[in-house]
Amino acid sequence: MSQIARHYIGGVWRNDGGAPDISVNPADGTDLGTFLPGYARLADEAAEVAKAAFEEGVWASSPRLRAQVLLDFADKLEAAKDEIADLVVAENGKLRAEAMGETMAGVSESRYYAGLARNIRGSMQEVMPGQLSLFHREAAGVAGIIVPWNAPVTLLVRSLAPTLAAGCTVVIKPAAQTPLTHARIMECLADCPNLPPGVVNSVNENGIEVGQAMVASADIDVISFTGSSATGRKIMEGAAGTLKRVGLELGGKAPALIFGDADLDLAAKQLTHGSLAIAGQMCAAAARYLVHESVAEAFGARMTAALGAVRVGPGANPDSQMGALIDRDNQARLMRLVEQAGDEGRMMLKGAPLDQGAFLTPTLFAIDDLTSPLVQEELFGPIVSFETFADEAEAVAKANATPYGLAASVFTTDVSRAMRMSRAIRAGTVWVNAHLRLFAEAETGGYGQSGLGRLHGVEGLHDFLETKHIFLEPGRV
C-alpha cells in the first residue's frame, strides 16, 4: 500500500505543499503513503473558496439538495467501508472491528443529518397585537473543522454532517497521522454528483500552521474542534481576534463508579471494553475505577484478570482484542507513566511493550492521592487508576474532582441511586450499567475543561446555525 493524500479545494485535487511527510503503520513501522503538508496561504485560499461557495447562496437555501448530498455521501462511505476500515487499521493501529464500527457510525451519522437537513425550522411570535416576529434559523457561514487522529472517520463526520445539514460550507484539516484515511473519505464526497464545488474543502498538514490560519481567518465563521484541552485553549485564544464561534470537544478522564450492589461481571465486561477501546486513546474511555470499599477486593481481582487476559496485537489480526498505540513516541510516554504509577501507587497489573510495534499491554494501579497528575490528567492510553469510596457523597466528590467532565458511568442495581448519581456527576454523558455507548441521535460534549457545545443529535446543528429576527410591521410591507 503506497498512496498519496492530496488537498481538495474548490472541487480540485491539489498536491502543493512542503516536503513530503509519511504516514506510518504503528503496528509494524512500515510506510503507507505520503502527503505534502499545506501552509497558511493554502488554508486562506480554501477559506476564500468556501466563503464564495457560501455567498452564492444555493447551498445554504437548498435543504433537499443538502439532504441528497448527505445521503449520497453515506452510500459512498458504505460502499467503500472495507477499504476505509483497512486504512484506519493501517494508519491508526486500532482493531478492524473498531475501524469498521467507526466507519459505519459515520454512515449512520450522515443519514441522520440528511433527515434533519429537511427539518430545520424557525418560529413565529405575535409579540404585540398584529405584529409578527419571525425567528429564522439560517446557516452560520463557513465552518472550519479540525480533526484528531484517534477516530478519523467518525470524528470528522460528527462535525461535517451537521455542518452540511445546516447549510454551511467547510474547510477541513485532518490529523497528520491519518491522511490516507481522510483522503479516501474526501474521495467519497468528491464522488457525490450533487455536491457543488467549493462547499467542502480540505487541507492536509503536519504541524499547526494550517489549523492556526483557519482559526484566525476572517472568512471562517465557526470552528468545530475535536482534540486535547491544551489545544482547545489555544483555539479559543486564536479565535478571539475575529470573535468567531468555537465548538470544542476536548479531553476527558471518565470515572466509572462501581457500587456494592453492582453486577460485577457486567461491570468488568463493560469496563474492559470501556477502558481499552482504541487502546485507551479515546476521550470518553473509562480512565478511573471508583469502587465501593465493600467490593474493592472482588472487583479489583476481576478487573486485574480481565485486563490481563486481553490479547494485544495488530489491529488487522482477528485474534487481537486491543490494537496498537498511535506511535512509538506515545508508547515511550505511556511507559514512563506506568513507572510513575508504580512509584506513586500500588501496581495491580503492570503494562509492558511487545517485542515490536507501538504496543503496550494494560496497566491497573491503585492510588489514594486525588491530587496526583495520574488522577488529574488525561493519560490517553491503556492505563487505569483504581480508587475506593465509602459512600455516595465520597463517590460523587471523587468523580467530580478533576477539571474534566466529558463522560462517566455508574454501575448499580438500584435505579434510584443510578438517577441520584447521574444527576450529581458533572459530565456531558453518564452511562448506567454500561460504558462507551454513543449514538448519532444522542448529544455528546463536555462540562468544565472537556469542552464547549454539543455534537451529535439535534443540538449538534446549533453551532452551525444563527437565529435571525425578522420583524413585520403590519400594513407597511
Question: Applying CB under 6 A, which residues contact ligand NAD?
Answer: 146-150, 155, 173, 175, 208, 211-212, 215, 226-228, 231, 234-235, 249-252, 283, 378, 380, 406, 446, 451
β-bridge partners, 407: 429
> How far apart (Å, rounded) are the C-alpha atoms in residues 237 and 231?
10
450: CB partners within 8 A, 6+ apart: 229, 249, 250, 251, 252, 283, 404, 405, 406, 427, 428
CB atoms within 10 A of CB 469: 11
Say if residues 171 and 211 touch (Cβ distance below 8 Å): no
Residue with cell string 507501538? 358
Find the residue with minimal CB distance to ligand NAD. Answer: 211
Edge to edge, what strands does the sheet with 3-5 contain? 3-5, 31-35, 21-24
Three-class DSSP category at 474: coil
CA distance 250 to 322: 23
Helix 209-216, helix 40-56: angle, nearest 10: 40
CA dist list (Å): 265 to 38, 278, 412: 49, 22, 12
> What are the grid coordinates assigned to 232, written together?
482547545
Give the nearer residue to ligand NAD in terms of CB position, either 67 or 213.
Answer: 213
Nearer to ligand NAD, 100 or 239 (CB): 239
Instruction: Round to whole Å and give the CA distance between 203 and 18.
Output: 12
- Give the nearest distance from C-beta 469 to ligand NAD in angstroms: 32
Q: Nearest to residue 221, comparing CAs of 164, 162, 139, 156? A: 139
Q: What are phi and psi of 413, to 5 degrees?
A: -105, 5
Q: Which is nearer to ligand NAD, 111 or 456 (CB)?
A: 456
Closest approach of Cβ 192 to ligand NAD, in Å? 24
Buried b (16+ CB within 10 A) or exposed e, 370-400: eeeebbebbbbbbbbbbbbbeebeebbebbb
Q: How far is the CB of 203 from ligand NAD (least distance, A)?
A: 11
Retrieve residue 140's grid coordinates: 452560520
Residue 203: which of 13, 63, 52 has the closest Cα? 13
CA 185/CA 324 separation, integer angstroms: 22
Q: CB of residue 232 vs ligand NAD: minimum separation in angstroms?
A: 7
- Find the shortest distance in angstroms from Cβ 293 to ligand NAD: 30
Which set of grid coordinates corresponds to residue 375?
488522577
Q: Which amino acid is at 347?
A: M
Q: Which residues have a Cβ under 8 Å from the Cβ of 117 and sit 6 or more positions away?
A: 63, 64, 66, 67, 70, 164, 165, 166
CA–CA gap between residue 186 and residue 184 (Å, rounded): 5
Q: Give the shortest CB-381-to-ligand NAD separation in angstroms.
A: 11
Examine the residue annotation and report whether 297 is marked as an active-site residue of this protein: no
Q: 287 or 312, CB closer to ligand NAD?
A: 287
Q: Would you give the DSSP letter of residue 196?
A: P
Q: Active-site residue 283, yes or no?
A: yes
- Please name the amino acid found at residue 108: S
Q: Are strands 404-405 and 447-448 parallel, antiparallel or unpaired?
A: antiparallel
Name the catalytic one among 168, 188, 192, 283.
283
Whose Cβ is closer to ligand NAD: residue 167's or residue 274's? 274
Nearer to ligand NAD, 263 or 377 (CB): 377
Which positions are annotated as active-site residues?
249, 283
